Structure 1
Amino acid sequence: MTVSRGLFAVVAAWFAVLGCIEAVSLEVRQGNSTCIKADLSASFSIPYNTSSGRRTAQISLPNSTTVDAGSSTCGGGGLSPWLVAVFGSGHSLGLSFSTNGSLYSVANLTLQYNLSDAALFPDANSSDVVTVVSASVGIRAAVNTTYRCMSPTTVAVEDANVTFTDMRMEAYMPGNDLSPTESVCAADQTSTTAPPSTTTATTAAPPQPTPPGTPERGNYTVDNNGSLCLLAQMGLQLNVSYFSQSQNKTIQELLNLNPSLTNSSGSCEASRATLVLTQERMIALTFTFTMNSNTSKYHLSGIDLQANLSDPFTAGNDSLNYLQSTLGRSYMCNAEQTLQVAPAFSLNTFRLHVQPFDVKTNQFATAEECQMDRDQMLIPIIVGAALAGLVLIVLIAYLIGRKRSHAGYQTI
């Protein structure tokens, strides 16, 4: 009986802290206006130390979660918008947002947990309040649309993990309600399938769209206080696949970026540079380059796409490793490359030449060529050498044969 009462007390304390595991609604307001709104479920996997070894706490965001009005803000005055949700005994989840005018994203995720909370961290050998931060969240959407992701999305925050599900969220809101237009995450687009057909009759396959051909090469730059800090010349082709709610079918599109309709912007920092290409109000394509100061090597680490097609489409990846080169040099690849970004999105590049760091006199530095270009140059050299060798063999054979024919005659 004593054991049962003790177990009941523990369970009661657990549910008193966590509440029911369901979606919570969070809202940041400024005066009578709402600037950030989120409906989501979240769970946390947090390792911690005890006297007997390492344990992992599995925690769910309770429905008693509230917005910390003192820490949350709509931004302005040099401050980024922040949504800070508090729960339990000194725990919080913070999301900061940024925008480039065409799309907004979660710039940082901050998780704070209190190890002195014995209900969540039993036998912890520390009572510290721990704060961990992740800058690679992967949540982004077109401005004036709602980010929607029903599929589980896990964000690594140092050695902890945060998993979101059933998420509908919008920042930089023009009104007090979530926009009816949605930017659907790539996981939802690839997991969504069309309803099964109700007829067994054989139907002809729909005509395939005409391929758009090779895209025109564009010239894109980023300016930093009057001097160019990023140079890019390339033809770009988007290959996207998504389930269209309006047409009730899966659509695959191959789209060329039109340089004459595209504006470039971005930013340059010591170890990070971004190039944002915006084609009217239909496409926003962001490239992120990262510098490794230890090796003086840089690479393309992230590509994000926001597109208003027949349905809003969003996809991205912040852990890429393309277009590798050395500081002080540019990267060149004339051959067609396919950069796989996400299951539903890949990017084809043509006649690409980029330099995101250490640009001097507004010109490209000496280029490091991609392997495909080097292979293409090697092939004619090998063929030429083989032909020269063949000609040489024929010539030697001819000379030997001629010498033997002269040796058959005798002088009278």
Structure 2
Amino acid sequence: MAPPRRTAGLALLLFLGACGFFQSCAVEVDVKDASNVTCLYAQWMMKFLIKYETNSSDYKNASLDLTSTVTHNGSICGSDTQAALLAVQFGDGHSWSVNFTKNNETYRAEFITFTYNTNDTAVFPDARRQGPVTIVVKDAMHPIQLNNVFVCHHTTSFEAENVTQIFWNVTMQPFVQNGTIGKKESRCSADTPTAAPTVLPTVANVTTASTTVSPAPTTAPTPAENPVTGNYSLKTGNKTCLLATVGLQLNISQNKPLLINIDPKTTHADGTCGNTSATLKLNDGNRTLIDFTFVVNASASVQKFYLKEVNVTLLNHQNGSVILSADNNNFSKWDASLGNSYMCRKEQTLEITEDLQVHTFNLWVQPFLVKENKFSIAEDCSPEVDYFIVPIAVGAALGGLVVLVIMAYFLGHKKHHNAGYEQF
């Protein structure tokens, strides 16, 4: 077979499963060269979580899935001197692509480019910024042996510029040799050695897959202890712009009650810093995404920051589908003077919905004006009992003082009276 041509002559796209509200469509792309043989093959599922600014200067979270109409314009087979490109377009002006390079022995993904269009009012009904927004992420994929199929059932995500890209059930091979997809798999490190092998799709397999129900999520055991406290930070350039220390626990009462402790050892911090708004995005690398958004109240006589919004997304760690997604953007908690930090050692509860709460432990946070990578003066939340103990103690002391004054008065008056009788 001749080397792959630079242009794709024909591509066949097949769609697996239904596109439900919480379930992204699966897509299969088989790019063929001018000789009508496969040069690039991919099957995967993906979705996007996007935080965007509204016309009222608030921030909202949007979920963008592949639609039932996907095109592949711009896909390129690639060659020894040109990168291969897998490109898809979907919805109202959204697109995603990944380019691959190779040497004599291996290939690897280099960059992922995602463009979302805020003119899509169905997804971004009140976006302040109008038009396409492009995000480029350098892929961390390790080199794969040529003619091996890259497979990753496990959920993988990338976070950059208020966008979380989520992928799962990935089967992919660029630079296909002799038009035949490789039979040997190279698994991602997150997949266990015993994970079920991927069956290369055929038309028959597509029909079967469309009627297969995704496996139920594995229920995590109820934690017996409070969560481990994690230390998180964000930087702008080389300067730290946000600091947070907190232990996090999710309390989910939907269906079967469930407590989930967030493990800081496997949790990655990302987000954005600004003068009046900052967002800390935590991804535990497995099943949970939590976003905390802080804003500055500039209308007050003394400028203060406070927590305004919390967004929680719980994923099925087996296939990446969204089990639960909820947010509350009406908080007014964790407030402190701008330039200071907020501290609360006691347990607090953030009510996201009736079925979802976030418990925090040993909280210390400063989302603005961090200096020298250290927390500034902390404004502590005092336990409610302190508000009663102090007045009671003061009242008791004052009461005792009044009693002593009265007793001293009577004793003194009595002594003076007795002394008067002795004079007569």
Residue 272 of structure 2 is matched in structure 1 by 268
2:323 is the alignment partner of 1:319:
no
Residue 124 of structure 1 is matched in structure 2 by none
- 1:299 touches 1:325 (CA, 8 Å); kept in 2? no
Identity of aligned residues (%): 23
Matches for 1:269-288 after TM superposition, within 5 Å: 269-270=273-274, 271-278=277-284, 282-288=286-292
Q: Tell me the CA shift for residue 273 of structure 1.
A: 2.8
- 2:154 touches 2:169 (CA, 8 Å); kept in 1? yes
Residue 347 of structure 1 is matched in structure 2 by 358
Alpha-carbon distance between aligned partners in 2 of 1:365 and 1:391, rounded to the nearest angstrom: 40
Alpha-carbon distance between aligned partners in 2 of 1:326 and 1:388, rounded to the nearest angstrom: 33
| Paired letter, 2:401 | L
Give the gaps of 5 or more residues in structure 1. Answer: 1-21, 40-62, 86-91, 98-105, 114-130, 136-141, 147-168, 186-208, 243-249
2:360 is the alignment partner of 1:364:
no
Q: Tell me the CA shift for residue 360 of structure 1.
A: 1.1
Q: Tell me the CA shift for residue 364 of structure 1.
A: 0.9
Alpha-carbon distance between aligned partners in 2 of 1:80 and 1:359, rounded to the nearest angstrom: 42
3-state SS, counterpart of residue 405 of structure 2: helix
Residue 347 of structure 2 is matched in structure 1 by 336
2:270 is the alignment partner of 1:252:
no
Q: Tell me the CA shift for residue 174 of structure 1.
A: 1.1
Q: Tell me the CA shift for residue 262 of structure 1.
A: 3.9
Residue 311 of structure 2 is matched in structure 1 by 303
- 2:339 touches 2:369 (CA, 8 Å); kept in 1? yes
Alpha-carbon distance between aligned partners in 1 of 2:288 and 2:86, rounded to the nearest angstrom: 21
Residue 84 of structure 1 is matched in structure 2 by 90
Q: Tell me the CA shift for residue 258 of structure 1.
A: 4.2
Alpha-carbon distance between aligned partners in 1 of 2:412 and 2:348, rounded to the nearest angstrom: 55
Give the gaps of 5 or more residues in structure 2. Answer: 1-17, 32-39, 48-66, 77-82, 98-113, 122-128, 134-151, 157-164, 173-200, 202-208
Q: TM-score, normalised by structure 2?
A: 0.49
Give CA-to-partner distance per residue, 1:260-290, whole Å, 9 cap, x none: x344421333243323252xx5443422324
- 2:73 touches 2:88 (CA, 8 Å); kept in 1? no
CA shift in 2, pair 1:310/1:174, >3 Å? closer
- 2:246 touches 2:360 (CA, 8 Å); kept in 1? yes
Aligned-CA RMSD value: 5.1
Matches for 1:101-116 after TM superposition, within 5 Å: 110-111=118-119
| Paired letter, 2:361 | F
CA shift in 2, pair 1:82/1:240, >3 Å? farther
Residue 67 of structure 1 is matched in structure 2 by 70
2:171 is the alignment partner of 1:175:
yes
Q: Tell me the CA shift for residue 237 of structure 1.
A: 2.0
Q: TM-score, normalised by structure 1?
A: 0.50
Q: Tell me the CA shift for residue 216 of structure 1.
A: 3.8
- 1:26 touches 1:66 (CA, 8 Å); kept in 2? no
Alpha-carbon distance between aligned partners in 2 of 1:210 and 1:220, rounded to the nearest angstrom: 25
Alpha-carbon distance between aligned partners in 2 of 1:352 and 1:319, rounded to the nearest angstrom: 20
- 1:38 touches 1:170 (CA, 8 Å); kept in 2? yes
Alpha-carbon distance between aligned partners in 1 of 2:295 and 2:269, rounded to the nearest angstrom: 19
Alpha-carbon distance between aligned partners in 2 of 1:330 and 1:355, rounded to the nearest angstrom: 5
